[in-house]
Amino acid sequence: MSRVITCLLLLSLLSASGCALIDTERNGSISTGKPVSADQLAEFQNDAPVRTILRLNTSNVTTLATDQRIRSGLGIWEELDESGLMSPEDRRRLNQSGLRVGVAGSTLPWALTSLLRGERVQSTPSSNDRAEARRKPDGSIVFGTQLVLPSGSTSLIEIPSPGDSLLIPAGHIAGLKHGAELRNARCMFHVSTAEIGDGWVVIRFLPQIHHGEMSVRYSIADSGEQLPVRQRIQPLYEQQFELKLHTGETAVIGYQKQDDWTVGRLMFQRESLSSLNEQVVTIELAAVEAVQGQKSVTVKYSNY
């Protein structure tokens, strides 16, 4: 009986107030029934979110370890900026780990251009070498890709390995103090944006080793907990570094020769029965763009 009385009271309130329960003062288009004006629509669209994206061109070059274009004193490193990229301590730390990092301006050194074209040159560059290189475009093996990296996101740059396992000596990698043989192993650079400005960006490079079988593994990301299908990941935090690139500049990462086993040797040198090959990775900052999202005042109820 009490429920019936409550319903009757609610019906009487609605009958007395009519549509007054709907607040029309906050939205003039509701009270008047008029469409949204051009000014209101422009203000609505200008309030759309803006996100910065990076366009990166990456290349991986494989050539003989005896190729003079990648050796100190003769090749690409003589024309790259290495000293102004980071502190002397950080550069020394990377060099001792077998990693060498440099940056080229918008005009690439001849030796680097020659490598990226796949030209065959094994001696000190000269006019005769350059003419000969054009006739033999099969010296080095080159492949590349384009990356679109939105701010706040990450990506991976893979350094190919011809084998299915990597041997890690004891005492060289934190987390693998006793050494290991990693099956189905791949070396990667995990790249992310540390800072973005007008026409420039600071990119963080974290070397990683992905190994093992693909399976669902627990991960923690900025968006929360995830269960992606991936391999095991061994991050190499001691070899992490950052680079500032301006639009048109190219970062070059390669091997710094050391007598002992190093992470750089693991990542960039590949030994076979007949030869010793070496790899170089290049990353060009092609563009820094601001992409504006779009809003719509039209709701299609059929989509829900």
Q: Which residues pair with 191 in a beta bridge?
A: 155, 205
Does the pLDDT of residue 273 top 90, yes or no?
Answer: no
Residues in the chain: 304
Distance, in Å, from the CA atom of 88 to the CA atom of 272, rounded to the nearest integer, reads: 35
> Bigger pLDDT: 298 or 68?
68
pLDDT for position 127: 46
Distance CA 246, CA 287 (A): 9
Tens of pLDDT, residues 21-75: 444 454 444 445 567 677 766 666 666 677 899 999 999 999 999 898 888 666 8
| Whole-number Å distance between alpha carbons of 196 and 51 | 11
The residue ranking higher by pLDDT, 61 or 14, is 61
pLDDT at position 286, please? 95
Whether 240 has a pLDDT exceeding 70, the answer reads yes
Is a pLDDT exceeding 90 seen at residue 297? no
Q: Which residue has the tokens 């084998």?
A: 163
What pLDDT sits at residue 117?
87
pLDDT at site 9:
61
Phi-psi region of 18 (alpha: psi -120 to 50; beta: other; left: phi over 0): left
> Tokens 């003419």 identify what position?
131
pLDDT range class, residue 8, cuts 50, 70, 90: low
Residues 117, 142: Cα–Cα separation, whole Å: 8
Bridge partners, residue 165, by sequence:
183
pLDDT above 70 covers what percent of the chain?
68
Tens of pLDDT, residues 174-219: 888 788 888 888 899 999 999 999 999 999 999 999 988 777 655 5
Which of 122-126, 164-168, 221-225, 254-258 is predicted most confidently?
Answer: 254-258
Band of the pLDDT at 255, cuts 50, 70, 90?
Answer: very high
Q: Please give the pLDDT value at position 202.
A: 96
| pTM for the structure as a whole | 0.73
pLDDT digits (tens, 9 = 90+) for 82-99: 988 899 999 999 999 999
Q: What are the tens digits of pLDDT across the range 107-145?
A: 998 999 989 988 876 444 444 444 443 333 445 677 788
pLDDT at 157 over 60: yes
Tell me the domain boundaries of the chain.
50-291
Name 246's bridge partners: 200
Residue 34, token pair as written in the block: 């008029």
Assign 214 to helix, strand or coil.
strand
